[in-house]
């Protein structure tokens, strides 16, 4: 009976994660493709097909010049723009026949739409409430559910030995309910060397730990070796939430650019663990499921971050992506004539193949990191 219960729980968790991941991916990709679609139409370019999902096609409905199709593989969507590969250059409604600035605008529209989507998601989150540091709350903020949460655990510290981890909430110490970070730090500091009874919450489960504070070299005070933060659910009136959503999307964009800069630096210097900071489809699916389990606020923030990542990745001058195609348009503007079609196609094809190899490598890394998770499930089953 226990075997059956555990099996059902694991199965339902996997199905839940898969459904949420497909939904999130569909929203992000469809928003990106809708950007290309609407800007192409506004510039008089024919869009031959707007596909929901990827082929094989299940059915389609034609409206005007565009076929709106529903496809079997529910992983986002695509748009097929007339002349996007250089053909039909003499037709006025072809992508190839348009001015360079118009083509750049069409290619950039997906990136812009992903930023707009991130801002909308964060704006909606600020209306209903997002988990944030209480110190970051601005004018007009409403704070609810304040708590002290562990943001990092020092290696070799008492907290690590006790099994504490990132995201754990400290509920009380020696029966004292702790809602103020300074009070908690002072209490632990003054009781250095004494065994303290910590009550914590992890994934809505309460548990206790006996931990003895020691002097922490980094701070010079007594502690258990954790970085703490006052977290609360912060919401704003809609007229403040909307601009804050755009500001937060911009902040995410800066942080993602910094992360990509660090990644490319590691690639240049040949860092052996460069893929450790990357997540493939498997890793992203697992993280999506975890965010969804934490609540709608966490899921909205995670979707916004993914949308910004998708935007930044696509605008970089990487072959086969929007940024790579824009690069060739810039070269065309500088040369006064386009690059040879065969050379450009070879460039994008090679780039796409390298991207797929990177995805496979990162996916293999994700799966290897999940071995412990699956092994623990296997032990529970048998």
The residues assigned a catalytic role are: 33
Query: Which two tokens mark 40?
Result: 């192409």
Cα distance between residue 378 and residue 382, in whole Å: 6
Among the listed residues 70, 80, 93, the one whose alpha carbon sits nearest the alpha carbon of residue 36: 80
Question: Residue 155 to residues 120, 164, 184: CA-CA distances in angstroms?
Answer: 39, 11, 21
Backbone angles phi, psi at 91, to 5 degrees: -85, 135
Residues paired with residue 231 on neighbouring β-strands, in sequence order: 133, 147
Q: Among candidates 187, 186, 163, 157, which has minimal Cα distance to 175?
A: 187
Cα dihedral 179, 183, 189, 194 sign = negative
From CA 129, how far away is CA 123, in angstroms rounded? 10
Contact between 202 and 213 (Cβ < 8 Å): no
Residues 211 and 223: beta-carbon distance below 8 Å: no
Structure tokens at 155: 């290696």
How buried is residue 373: exposed, middle or buried, by Cβ count under 10 Å (0-12/13-18/19+)? exposed
Assess contact for 358 and 279: CB atoms under 8 A. no
Q: DSSP for 195-242?
A: -EEEEEEETTEEEEEEE--EEETTTTEEE-SEEEEEEEEEE--HHHHH
Q: Are 21 and 288 in contact (CB under 8 A)?
A: yes
Secondary structure element (H or E) that encloses residue 113, with its range:
helix 100-128
CB 193, CB 213: distance < 8 Å: yes
Residue 113 tokens, joined: 């739409």
The tally of CA atoms less than 13 A away on the side-chain side of residue 378 is: 6
């Amino acid at each position: 009976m226990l075997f059956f219960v555990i099996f059902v729980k694991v199965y339902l968790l996997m199905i839940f994660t898969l459904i949420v991941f497909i939904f999130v991916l569909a929203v992000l990709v469809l928003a990106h493709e809708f950007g290309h679609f609407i800007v192409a139409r506004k510039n008089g370019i024919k869009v031959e097909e707007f596909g929901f999902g990827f082929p094989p096609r299940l059915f389609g409905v034609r409206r005007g010049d565009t076929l709106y199709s529903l496809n079997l593989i529910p992983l986002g969507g695509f748009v097929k723009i007339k002349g996007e590969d250089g053909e039909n250059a003499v037709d006025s409604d072809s992508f190839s026949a348009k001015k360079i600035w118009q083509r750049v605008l069409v290619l950039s529209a997906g990136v812009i739409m992903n930023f707009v989507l991130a801002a909308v998601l964060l704006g909606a989150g600020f209306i209903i409430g997002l988990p944030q540091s209480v110190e970051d709350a601005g004018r007009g903020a409403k704070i609810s559910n304040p708590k002290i949460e562990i943001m990092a655990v020092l290696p070799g510290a008492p907290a690590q030995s006790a099994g504490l981890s990132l995201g754990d909430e400290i509920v009380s110490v020696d029966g004292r309910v702790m809602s103020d970070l300074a009070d908690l730090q002072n209490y632990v500091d003054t009781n250095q060397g004494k065994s303290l009874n910590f009550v914590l919450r992890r994934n809505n489960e309460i548990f206790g730990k006996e931990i003895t504070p020691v002097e922490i070299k980094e701070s010079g005070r007594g502690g258990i070796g954790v970085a703490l933060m006052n977290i609360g659910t912060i919401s704003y009136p809609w007229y403040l939430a909307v601009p804050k959503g755009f500001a937060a999307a911009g902040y995410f964009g800066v942080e993602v650019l910094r992360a990509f800069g660090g990644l490319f630096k590691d690639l240049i210097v040949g860092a052996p663990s460069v893929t450790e900071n990357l997540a493939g489809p498997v890793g992203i699916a697992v993280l999506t499921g975890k965010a969804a389990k934490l609540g709608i606020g966490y899921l909205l923030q995670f979707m916004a971050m993914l949308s910004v990542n998708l935007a930044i990745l696509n605008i970089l001058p990487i072959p086969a992506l929007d940024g790579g195609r824009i690069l060739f348009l810039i070269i065309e503007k500088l040369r006064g004539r386009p690059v040879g079609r065969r050379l450009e196609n070879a460039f994008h094809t090679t780039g796409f193949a390298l991207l797929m190899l990177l995805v496979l490598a990162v996916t293999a890394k994700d799966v290897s990191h999940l071995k412990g998770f699956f092994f623990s499930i296997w032990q529970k089953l048998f």
